Amino acid sequence: MEVVKQLEQLRTTRRKCSDPFGLVPTMGYLHEGHLSLVRCAMSECASVGVSIFVNPTQFGPNEDLTAYPRDLERDLSLLSAEGVDLVWIPEVEGLYPPGDPTWVDVEGLTEYLEGAKRSGHFRGVTTVVAKLFNAFQPTKAYFGQKDAQQARVIQRMTEDLLLPIEIVICPIVREVDGLAMSSRNSYLNPEQRQAATVLWRALGHAGSLYDAGERNAGNLREGMLDVLNAEPLARVQYVSV
């Protein structure tokens, strides 16, 4: 496995990799969700690259950029065990040269749900993903269904910029109690970790209502809100069907 920092090193190593080439962009602190993307890429591509970069532009001023968990040594050992060919760990200045920046911004789709709560978040995501796509020139790129709006926004960006890259969306990987795996789960203390299963329980409740014949989106949302509001540690930002 080649681990590189500089763009030129990445380009040289990438040229030696066979196509189809699969890219898994990550912010590191890898878990089974990331590894499921890597495994999917390995099964579909002749070579696979992973980027590890905690992208500052997708964090708001009051978000967790400095606290975001990092463990590069562990990440590299996990990726090596999976048989990944190439890992890029760029520096911030490597992806964001000093001076006025260029942004990639998908309109419309980014204005509601997560986008309404996190101003500028998706602009940071699409800008960095466009840069990663240009640097790696992958045939396919792999993202998780957990970040459903992000996945759709990246698909739209890829279509609109006429990029010859297939976006593959892989299923959510959950802990045994249903909580979706996320690097940020490491922030939770045991009480919060237990409470966080309310997300899965609320979704399950909506699923049961649906299976029982409910087709009114407002009623499905109300059902989920009932479950979420019964959890004292939960603060609802949005519920959508």
According to the binding rule CB under 6 A, does residue 55 interact with ligand PAF?
yes
* Residue 9: closest CA among 73, 87, 83: 87
Contact at 8 Å (CB) between 108 and 133? no
Q: 112 to each of 23, 24, 119, 146, 206, how far by Cα in Å?
A: 28, 26, 10, 17, 21
Stretch touching ligand PAF by CB under 6 A, among 24-32, 89-97, 102-110, 199-207: 24-32
Q: How far is the CB of 104 from ligand PAF (least distance, A)?
A: 12
Stretch touching ligand PAF by CB under 6 A, among 22-30, 68-76, 199-207, 221-229: 22-30
Please tell me the chain's helix, strand, coil percentages from 3-state DSSP, rounded to the nearest 5.
Answer: 50, 10, 40
Q: Which of residues 104-133 bind ligand PAF (CB under 6 A)?
A: 125, 128-129
Q: Which of residues 144-163 bind ligand PAF (CB under 6 A)?
A: 147, 150
Q: Is the dihedral of CA 191, 195, 197, 201 positive or negative?
A: positive
Stretch touching ligand PAF by CB under 6 A, among 25-33, 36-44, 70-78, 201-209: 25-33
Q: Catalytic pick from 31, 34, 121, 205? A: 34
Binding-site ranges for ligand PAF (CB under 6 A): 25-27, 55, 58, 125, 128-129, 147, 150
